[in-house]
Every structure is written in C-alpha cells, then in structure tokens.
Chains A and B, each alone.
Chain A
Amino acid sequence: MSDKQSQPVENSHFVKRIFHSIQRDSLTPSGDRERMKMVMNSLILHIHPSKVSKSSIKFTYTFGLGGLLLLLGSILAVTGIMLIFVYTPSPDAAYKSMIILRTEIPYGNLIRNLHHWSGNLMVVVAVLHLLRVFYTAGFTRPREFNWAMGIALLLLVIGANFTGYLLPWDQLAYWAVTVGTNLLDYIPLIGEPITRLLLGGPEVSAATLTNFYGLHIALIPLAIFAIASFHIWRVRKDKITTPRQINGEEHTEKVTTIPHLVSMEFVFALAWLAILITWSAFINAPLEEAANPSHSPNPAKAAWYFMGFQELLLHFHPVFGAIIIPGLGLLALLILPYLDQDMDTAGIWFRSVRGKQIVSISFLVGMAGTFIFVLLNEYWLDLPGWLPFLPSIISNGWVPLAGILLLLIGYFELLRRLGNSICEARQALFTLLFSSFFTFTIIGIFFRGEGMALVFPWS
C-alpha cells in the first residue's frame, strides 16, 4: 500500500530532475528575483553582455548588420548541411545534382536558392558592416585587433562564396572560377604553385571540384566559426562604441539585454528570414548549361565580387592590378585603426558634420574620377604604347600607380589645408578609394561586353 502511494511522487521527482537539468529556472518566474536569475543564466548572455547602453541598440546606429551576418551564417550552415545529402562533388554528377535539386527533391530548389542568396547577401552585409564600423570609428582602441579579425572574416566569407561558386559545375561557375584563379597566377614566385595546389592541377578539373568542396564545407566554415567566436567574444568584452551626437554628451543609460536587445534581434531575424524565403521562393539561383571546358563564354567574367579586380587588370599590369594594388589596399585597411589618434569622435557618424560632407563629396569624386579614368584608358591613354622602351610592368604598372598615388596625396593635403582633421581627411581618402573600387565593380559587371570591351547598356 505504501509502495503504491509513493510511486507517483518518485516519478514526479525524476521528471523534474530531468527538466531541471535542462532548464534550471522556472519558465514562469514569480518575482523580480527569479526573473533576474533566469536572465542571468540565459545562453544569450554568452554572446551579449547582461546590460547594454540604451543608445547603442538604436537600429539606425548598427542597422543590425552584425546580427544579420550571424543569421545568414546560420541559414547557410543549415541549408548547406541539407544540400550535402544531395550533392556529389564530381564533374559528372555535380551538375546532375543541381538538376535533381530543382526538379525532384521537395523544396530542393528553395533550399538551394536560400543557400545561394544568403551567401551572396553575406558578402554584401559583411562589407556594409565594415563600413558601419569604419564610419562610426568603431575600430578605435581597444578594438584595433578585432577590426583585423573582422577583415579576416570578410576574406573568409569571400573565400567561402568563391569555393561554393564552382560547385554547380555549370558554365558560369567553371569560367568564373577559371578567371578568378587566374588572378592568383600573377603573384610573383608563389602564384603558380598556389594556383596549382588550389586547382589540383594546371586547370579547373575534377580535382579542383574536390578541393573546393572540401574547403567550402569544412575548412573555411571551421575557420569562420573559430574567428567569428573570437570576434564576438571581443565585441562583448570591449563593448561596441556608444553612439553620440556631435558635441553631445555620451548617453550612459543602460538597459538589460533581455528583453530589450533580444526582442529587437528576434523581430529583426524573423523579418529577414521572411524576406529571404520570399525572395528565394520567386528568384532562382542562376544555373547555366553544364560546364564545357573547351568553350569559354564571351566575355568570361569572374564572380561579381571579383569584378573590380578583373576591371583593374584591364588598366594595369597584372602584377599591379591583381597583387600590388589590392595588397596595398588590404594593408592600409589592417593598419588603419593603429593610425587613429582621435578617440573623441568614436561613436559619431562620420566624425563630424564636416566629415559627413567630405565623405559624400569624396564618394562622388571617386565615382566620377574612376569613370573618367576608365574612359581615358579606353580611348586615349596608352602608356605601354607611349613608353614602348620600358617593360610593361613599369609603363603600365608603376607609372600609372605613381600618378594615382600623387593624386591621392594631393587630395589628402588639400583636405588638410581646408581645415579638416587628419582623421577626417583619412576617412575621405578611404571613401574615395572605396567608391573607386565600387565603381570598377559596377563597370565590370554592367559595362563590359564581348571581349571585355566597354559597352553602355543603354546604347
């Protein structure tokens, strides 16, 4: 009798024990103390501080770009794992996998579309995130190294996208990767061995597909996960810069992360998920005919995010267009935070009103200057022809680069003489270079036709 009475009590204790081992606090806290305990024990606080500045969670300060990157990374991981079950990385089967996904697998096309568009959006968002941090001086002490981690993540995101580009094994993929890997060939001494290692031979082939597949599903995602964990941990430790108005006081009011920040993030994530699913339901990821290594399309273009580099190659000697100029740009990006002395402007968009104005002007100057340079180079400027007695690496590499560097130094000095601070002038220079690269990319994508000749879409 007594056994029968005690049995339900023991069962209840056992279930509670299991529940408690998973969720330590009550889901319906009865008072403020229990509520606070639940918040403090939440997993969310592993990546967020328990309290954040009220002003820093304002949407127009961060635009939620870092969070969006996390969301996109998660979507890519989930859809990527699903795709692994269908995809076979061999030239004979890869393209068939795409067709099967589109025609036979339930929601296969949607999953592939989601993966494709999320991957491309991730590159755009990563660049926008970099710009947001730059223009709010979010890299100032002690966040310099985290800025470098961010740059590394951007490169890895591009690497992940590029290695995934080949996997459909269609004409677009094959030739974009052929053009893209050709860029590596121009690195002096080590370019060719690296390219051969990456391609698994002298040209894009079955070995390349295997290599890229391994990089795409294992090595690069692992690297992204490791560096992103570090990056997020540093953000949590160093805290993001607090937004300030020019000449305004820093807001010191703080709010708890849960629910203030988390609820915003949740709504934001749901909104983006809805947008992405809707987009992917209606817009298919591109898929051309199966790869044909003996027939290159005309023009053969690189992936869209490499079009700026491909465009540079049309104007500079390959060593300068593919290696030296991008290398200098990357180096400048990495050392930028260490040059910054002006801590007072951290958290202020564009540093000042004047800063905002010269950023706008510099963006327009960069775009216009690049268009003019491309037109001049297409129809008039012919340095190798004018200086035929010089090696083309000098006449078409060092000489034009020297001219451009002189113009940039002149622009910087002009801004300084007009009374701008060093930080403002540097910010303007960065803007000019970014808008120039942006314009090169636009020209490469939309203004290059057969034989990479300059064409105007409206003509």
Chain B
Amino acid sequence: MFLKIITGVLLTTVIGAGGAAIAYQSSTQETPQTISNQDFVLPEPANDVVSPGVPQPVEPVTAAEGFSGEPWQETGTISEIDDFGFHFSIQNGEQVYVEFGPPDYWQNQGVNLQVGQTVTVKGTNDGDTIHAAQVILADGQTLQLRTEAGQPLWSGGEQNQQGKNAGLNNGEHSPEPQAQVDEWVTIEGTVESFLRGSMTMRTLEGELINFKTGQPRFFADQNVTFQAGDQIVVTGFYEGDQFMAGDITQVATGLRVMLRDPNGRALWSGPGNGKGNGRRNGNNT
C-alpha cells in the first residue's frame, strides 16, 4: 500500500513535469518572431565591451523566450492578490487577472502591493493571460518583472537574454528606463579568483576588480561554474569605489548569471533589503 502511494506520487510528478514541459515548449515555440525595434536589440555576446558614449551597431534578432502577445498597458485598482499575480479592475470596469511569475521572485522585490491600490501595469496580453512586465505604483515605486522584450527576470541561463541590452546598444550604459544606478558599465577580463561570495577579475587593462557574487547557495542555483582563468564579461555599476556586478557572462559557454535586477538590487537579498531599495526607487523615479 505504502509503495503504491509512493509510486503514485512519483508517477504524478514525472507525468506532470513531462506534460508541463511539453506544454511550455509548444507554447513558446508558437510565438517566436523577429523584433525590429532597436530597444530590444541584443549585442554580440562576449566581445562587445562598450566604451562609454560609443553607439553600437544594431541588428534585428529573434525574440528570446518570454516575448509573447500584444503590448498591454492599463491603469486600475487591485482587487485581489495571490501568489502568482493579482485581479485587477481596469478603468472600463472590466476585471482581469495579471500574471507575475513565481512568488519567490516578485515577493522579494520589496514593493508592497495591497488590495485597493491604484497601479499601472505594463506587459503583454497573449489573448489568454496578461503577463506583467512592470507594475508602477502611484508613489512611483516600480515592480519590474520582465524586460520590455518579455524576458522573465527570475529565469537565468542561456535562454535568458535579460540585461544583454543593458548599456550596450545605446552607448549610454542605461540598462532599463527605471534603473536607479548612475551608470551601467560592461567590463571584460578573466577570473582571477572566485571564493565564497566574492570574485576577483583582471580586466584587459590589467586592473584587478573585486565584487560580491552573493550567497554561495544563490550562485550555485544558477548552474554556472566559474574557474580562475575563465574569460568573462561583467555588466555592473560603481557604488562609490566598489564595483557592483549585475550579471556575469562566461564567454566560453555564453552562460550568464544574473546577480542584480535592473534597479541594481541584489537578487540574492531578502525582502528586508528590497524594501530599502523600493523606497529609493520611489524617491528617484
């Protein structure tokens, strides 16, 4: 009996995961399209180290995973919140459900959503579901969930192109409209050492730069292994003299680890830190 229950649970897991994977793959394969909008252009991966103020060539690329549906923007009132989004009364009186993605990500961004708040949602509508990219509160705080290209900010890995356009296509190193950091820069070099939440890289000019990579467990979850000698491209910003890495790309594999959201907030930090950043967002936006 016990074995049957266990087998049942295991079968449900495997069949459910298999079905979900097939459904997800088929749904994402239906929507790829070419984006000609220059805002969504991706750079060549590793060698595009950008000098400040130098515009980069623009090439149309295939939309990455996550871009689907028609652009959608509405202002309205939150009527009910659950783990994956909220019910939203828009101005024409219609009630819609807006999807946010995994609660692990959006609930840790430090933006406090409440029933009755008036917010503006920017995202896409695939005819079935509205996927939020940004939720802008009345006080200016912004909950950033996806890029404008629809890339989920919570999913790392090769498929996630989020941040690749940051600071690379307009020569001004401004990754996203609401970025709160002064200037995003991209630096190329090699890993000198990588130890327990801290990486040191040597730039092409020979300078040593040290930056935090977050909790080892957070980094391990990204499934990318870095070794001394690896060629890397790091996008980040300076806070005083300290360089803060936003993402690290391993040139050899093209794999990318996301460390910070476009607001510069560390993805490994909990809601406590996020709240502080949220307030700062509000003041600055």
Q: Interface residues, chain A, CB within 8 Å of chain B?
A: 178, 182, 185-186, 202-203, 293-300, 313, 317-318, 383-393, 395-396, 398-399, 402-403, 405-406, 409, 450-452
Contact = CB atoms under 8 A, between A and B. Distances in A.
Interface string B244-285: 000000001100000000000000000000000000000000
Contacts of B193: 293-296
Closest 9 CB pairs of A and B: A386-B21, A402-B13, A298-B227, A294-B193, A296-B228, A399-B17, A388-B155, A402-B10, A406-B10
Contact of B228 (A203, A298, A393, A396): A298
B150 to A, nearest CB: 13
Contact of A392 (B24, B159, B196, B223): B223
B221 A399 contact: no
A202 B196 contact: yes
Nearest to A294: B193
A403 B253 CA distance: 28
Nearest to B66: A388
A294 B281 CA distance: 37
A406 B159 contact: no
A318 B21 contact: no
Given A203-B195, A318-B220, A384 B13 contact: no
Given A178-B195, A384-B223, A392-B221, A402 B155 contact: no
Query: Most B CB atoms within 10 A — which of A182, A388, A406?
Result: A388
A203 B227 CA distance: 16
A318 B219 CA distance: 11
B7 interface: yes
A396 to B, nearest CB: 7
A384 B220 CA distance: 13
A399 B21 CA distance: 11
What secondary structure prevails in chain B residues at the interface with A?
mixed
A388 B11 CA distance: 21
A389 B101 CA distance: 7
A393 B9 CA distance: 17
A299 B227 CA distance: 7
27 contacts: A182-B216, A185-B216, A203-B196, A295-B192, A296-B193, A296-B194, A296-B227, A298-B230, A300-B227, A318-B220, A384-B223, A386-B21, A387-B20, A387-B21, A388-B24, A388-B65, A388-B157, A392-B223, A402-B13, A402-B17, A403-B14, A405-B10, A406-B11, A409-B3, A409-B7, A409-B10, A451-B225
B230 A451 contact: yes
Given A186-B217, A452-B225, A406 B14 contact: yes
B17 to A, nearest CB: 4
- Interface range on chain B (Cβ under 8 Å from partner): 35 or more
Interface in B1-37: 3, 6-7, 9-11, 13-14, 17, 20-21, 24-25
A180 B152 CA distance: 34
Nearest to A191: B217
Contact of A294 (B14, B157, B192, B220): B192
A224 B200 CA distance: 41
Given A318-B217, A318-B220, A409-B3, A388 B159 contact: yes
B3 to A, nearest CB: 7
B55 interface: no
A299 B223 CA distance: 16
Interface string B125-153: 00000000000000000000000000010
A408 to B, nearest CB: 10
B135 to A, nearest CB: 19
Contacts of B11: 406
Contacts of A405: 6, 10
What secondary structure prevails in chain A residues at the interface with B?
helix
A300 B10 CA distance: 35
Contacts of B221: 317-318, 392-393
A388 B152 contact: yes
A393 B223 CA distance: 11
A406 B14 CA distance: 9
Contacts of B45: none
Nearest to B192: A294
B7 A406 contact: yes
A299 to B, nearest CB: 6
Nearest to A319: B217
Nearest to B224: A451
B98 to A, nearest CB: 16
B195 A385 contact: no
A297 B3 contact: no
B57 interface: no
Contacts of A300: 227
A186 B220 contact: yes
Contacts of B196: 202-203
Contacts of B24: 386-389
Nearest to A299: B227
Contacts of B229: 298
A383 B17 CA distance: 9
Contact of B253 (A185, A383, A398, A451): A451
Contacts of B14: 399, 402-403, 406
Nearest to A204: B195
B241 interface: no
Contact of B157 (A318, A385, A393, A402): A385
A251 B233 CA distance: 72
Contact of B200 (A203, A294, A389, A395): A294
A406 to B, nearest CB: 5
Nearest to A402: B13
Contacts of B253: 451
A398 B16 CA distance: 12
B215 to A, nearest CB: 8
B116 interface: no
A295 B157 contact: no
A402 B14 CA distance: 6
Contacts of B157: 384-385, 388
Contacts of B25: 386
Contacts of A396: 223
Contacts of B20: 387, 389-390
